[in-house]
Amino acid sequence: MNALSQPAKWERFFWPVVATGLLLALWYYSVRWTGTKVFPSPREVEKGLAELLRHHVLWNDIIDSLRRVAVGFGLAVLVGIPLGLTLGWYPAANQVVNPTMQILRPISPIAWIPVAIIFFGVGDNAAIFLIFLGAFFPIVVACINGVANVPSVYRRAGRNFGLTPPQLLGRVLFPAALPQILVGLRIALGIAWLVVVAAEMIAVDSGLGFLIIDSRNSGKRYDLVVAAILLIGAIGLILDVAFRRLETLRSVRWGFRHES
Amino acid sequence: MRDEHATRTNLLLLWRPLAFIALLLLLWEIGIRRQASHLLPGPWGVVGGIVDLVRHGLLLKYIVASLFRVTWGFALAVVTAIPLGLAVGWYRRAEMALNPILQILRPISPLAWIPIAILWFGVGDLAAIFLIFVGCFFPLMLTAIDAVQSIPAVYVNAGRNFGLSSAALVYRVLYPAVVPKLIVGLRITLGIAWLVVVAAEMIAVSSGLGFLIVDARNAGNRYDLVVAGMLIIGIIGLLLDLGMQSLEKVKSFRWGYSED
Amino acid sequence: MSSMQPIAAPLPFTLKTKLSVDRVSMVFERDGNRTEVLNNINLEVGDGEFVCLLGPSGCGKTTLLNAMAGFLSPTSGEIKVDGEAVRRPNPRRIFVFQERGVFPWLTVEGNIGFGLSKVTKAEREQRIAYYVKMVGLQGFEKTYPQELSGGMKQRLEVARALAVNPDMLLLDEPFGALDSITRLVMRGELLRIWEAERKTVIFVTHDIDEAVQLADRVVVMSARPASIRQIVNIDIAHPRDISAPRYLELRDGIFQQIGLAHKV
């Protein structure tokens, strides 16, 4: 529900450009008026970004970060979805495991860093382990809730057609819970992207998170810091948009409220 | 007879999860005993670690330090992001204008802001509070925008139909209509705040539970304290979540949550 | 007072018994509260018969239907189909929910073919095509239920049920959520399908006109705990003239039986 009339078509481009322009101007003049030597202006950030691109460092860092997210998130999906579906399917088992999960879940994945380093040493595997932990619990919880929220009409209909329990799980409960599971996966991917940056700032020496820390520590290159931050935002946005496209697939679209 | 049966079922429900936790602890202990390095603590070592922390008066001090930062960062985000989000959600052109900026800034891991936080606020409480604020602001604002936009037009029309003034419309229709969604958003965001504070304390300050973990590791590989810190982080996170969950159960908000 | 006496119309002797409900009672217990839902129900339904269970909302007729389907088991008494006790759901008797029962993640084709995983692909396709046509959903084969109207979803659910070739259909107020015009059309459709396939149909409704228009026999049930007040034989051939004296007489009899003055 919105106030006011339907905006015209040109406004869809006009207002975002105005707002972004104002923000950049505010940034630019803040830097000028405060006379800071450390914090970069938009122009300097743009130069910094160009410099990173020219030296090919950036591509390697982006690829490293994305690879870690892909592996950690992929593992969390492979383990978390079957586990979550099973726990949703057997409420008795869920009751047994639930208190343990409730305590492990709110431990910040970052807090596992020392333990991850013991297990895996400083390197890719430690970062992947942290991403796995960050993504695993939201996925399991989404699956449990998804299955538990399947209307009993669907379960009954499935049983009525003589499905065996595994068939019921695969042909009724999973598709019925899929929209909710997809939402959980999207949230988990967001968390994975958040965790990878943190992990790279502490536990490894490549990737976008490392780029930020490294630019700061070696010579206070805050133009590179801000450039890397904006890149992290842009890539996170692309991941999110790509995932949202899945929600428009026809066999899950019923589960989402879509505008227009 | 029936009551006796019921109590027995209740006891069984209570005992099984506890037995599962005991089993995990046992496996943990066995795993530690069979391992040569003695770097990681067993469950008893962790209990000893917690006792140590209590005896030195550090536990309470660090918990208070972490909660202090979370409270301020979260509260600042709530009082700014929610009114702003509600206003932006109501005016369609404002939402159009700000959407691209929000979408870019939102997926930036709050931890990526660490160098900037330190640059602006120095190493200390303010930097950590700023990071938590940044981590909470965007999810809360997006929740508030979404909450306003999904108020069914019928409610607003019904309110106008009964001749409510603008102020009364806001107070008697819009506010109660958005509260259920806002509470869900607050709960998720508080979880993020708890995740961020730990990470921030590992990097940007020298007190709090996150600092405890890093410090215990760096100063002499006291892994019993590391795991004790993780456990306490988990328990406090769980308590925060339960607290927010109990808000969802308040009667006048109840209608917003599915009854299935 | 004689009209208050339960009058059990005998089963027409030409039909063999398909379903028998024998002294069935049902008690729910929740938080220590006992709720008696069904009280000593006795009923026989013949093969190919169309029976309506008629009663006020919340009286327990849906519970009885669930017990017939095998989703619930009675506290005492027994339900038998073809002489065999009902213990669990079975594809030979399909329960049709209100339109809520169609699977939103499957197309029209997918829904109709849902119960056909055991037959060959060719036969499945042929059966799907046959029932799509029977319920008049041609052209919508690839459509998802979200894009169908309430009446179309309802027909789809009936088609999904018929496709597995069950002996019995158990319909739980299937047209309750439809507008009154669609409801009239759907009644005609259901009768057409029933006359073509001659399944045994148990149809739960709280609408007296609907019951008298559709059924061979109407089982009038009391408020909770539900017992059978009367079983009324509707001895009018299809298609029924709903302004004929005999129709009005039967309908008004049931109105009186339920204790309503038939005036607005």
Q: Going from the N-terminus, what domains does chain A have, and what CATH number goes with each? A: 42-259 (1.10.3720.10)
Are the Cβ atoms of A156 and C89 closer than 8 angstroms? yes
Residue of C nearest to A174 (CA): C105
Q: How large is the average pLDDT for residues C3-26?
A: 67
Residue of A nearest to B147 (CA): A1
Q: Is the pLDDT of residue A260 over 50?
A: no
Size of interface A-B (CB pairs under 8 A): 199
| CA atoms of A225 and A49, how far apart (whole Å) | 10
pLDDT of B225 reads 86
> Pick from A156, A157, A254: which is nearest to C105 by CB?
A254
- CA triplet C101, C107, C109: central angle to 5 degrees? 95
User: For residue C95, what are the contacts with CB-CB under 8 A and spacing of at least 6?
Assistant: A156, A157, A160, C65, C66, C69, C71, C89, C101, C161, C170, C172
Are the Cβ atoms of A209 and B109 closer than 8 angstroms? yes
Q: How large is the average pLDDT for residues C199-211?
A: 88
Domain ranges of chain B: 1-36, 42-253
Residue of C nearest to A249 (CA): C105
> Pick from A160, A171, A251: which is nearest to C91 by CB?
A160
Write out the two tokens for A83: 């586990």
Neighbours of B10 (CB within 10 A): 10
- Helix axis angle for A91-104 and A124-148, nearest 10°, is 140
- Quickly name the fold that domain B42-253 has: MetI-like fold (1.10.3720)
Q: ipTM of this model?
A: 0.81
Ramachandran bin of C62, using left for φ above 0, alpha for ψ from -120 to 50, beta for the remaining angles: alpha
Q: How large is the average pLDDT for residues B123-148?
A: 90
- CA triplet C60, C64, C67: central angle to 5 degrees? 135
> Pick from A193, A226, A257: which is nearest to B109 by CB?
A193
Tell me which long-range contacts B53-58 makes (C-beta under 8 A, separation of at least 24).
B53/B212, B53/B225, B53/B228, B58/B212
Are the Cβ atoms of B156 and A1 closer than 8 angstroms? yes
Does A60 touch chain B if contact means CB atoms closer than 8 Å?
no
- Which residue in A211, A192, A193 sits closest to A201, CA to CA? A211
- Which residue in B21, B57, B230, B93 sits closest to A112, CA to CA? B230
Where does C55-199 show beta strands of DSSP type E?
A: 76-81, 84-85, 93-96, 168-172
Mutation for testing the C interface, residue in A149, A160, A167 having most C CBs under 10 Å:
A160
pLDDT of B8 reads 63
pLDDT of C7 reads 47
| pLDDT per residue as tens digits for the range C67-123 | 888 888 888 888 888 888 888 888 888 888 876 788 888 889 889 988 888 888 888
Are the Cβ atoms of A114 and B214 closer than 8 angstroms? yes
Handedness of CA A88, A92, A96, A99 (dihedral sign): positive
**Integer distance in angstroms from the first to the last C-alpha of chain B?**
32
In chain C, residues with a C-beta closer than 8 Å to the C-beta of A252 are: 105
| CA atoms of B184 and B191, how far apart (whole Å) | 11
| CA atoms of C130 and B195, how far apart (whole Å) | 58
Are the Cβ atoms of C105 and A171 closer than 8 angstroms? no
Dihedrals phi, psi of A43, to nearest 5 degrees:
-60, -45
Report which secondary-structure segment, H or E, holds C204.
Answer: strand C200-205
> Pick from A151, A153, A175: which is nearest to C105 by CB?
A175
User: What percentage of residues in chain B have a pLDDT greater than 90?
Assistant: 12
| CA atoms of B147 and B140, how far apart (whole Å) | 10
Neighbours of C234 (CB within 10 A): 23
| CA atoms of C138 and C124, how far apart (whole Å) | 16
Kindly report the nearest CA distance between residue A172 and chain C, in angstroms.
8
**Integer distance in angstroms from the first to the last C-alpha of chain A?**
13
Q: How large is the average pLDDT for residues B66-79?
A: 93
Q: Give me chain C's average pLDDT, please.
A: 82
Q: Is the pLDDT of residue C9 over 60?
A: no
Strand partners, C45: C19
pLDDT of A102 reads 83
Kindly report the nearest CA distance between residue C94 and chain A, in angstroms.
6
Letter for the amino acid at C50?
A: F
pLDDT of B67 reads 92
Kindly report the nearest CA distance between residue B120 and chain A, in angstroms.
9
| CA atoms of B2 and B211, how far apart (whole Å) | 53
Q: How large is the average pLDDT for residues B220-227?
A: 83
Peptide bond into A91 cis (omega under 30): no
| pLDDT per residue as tens digits for the range C230-253 | 888 888 877 887 788 887 878 888
Strand partners, A253: none
- What is the value of pTM for the model shown? 0.80
Contact by Cβ (8 Å): C41, C228: yes
Does A226 touch chain B if contact means CB atoms closer than 8 Å?
yes
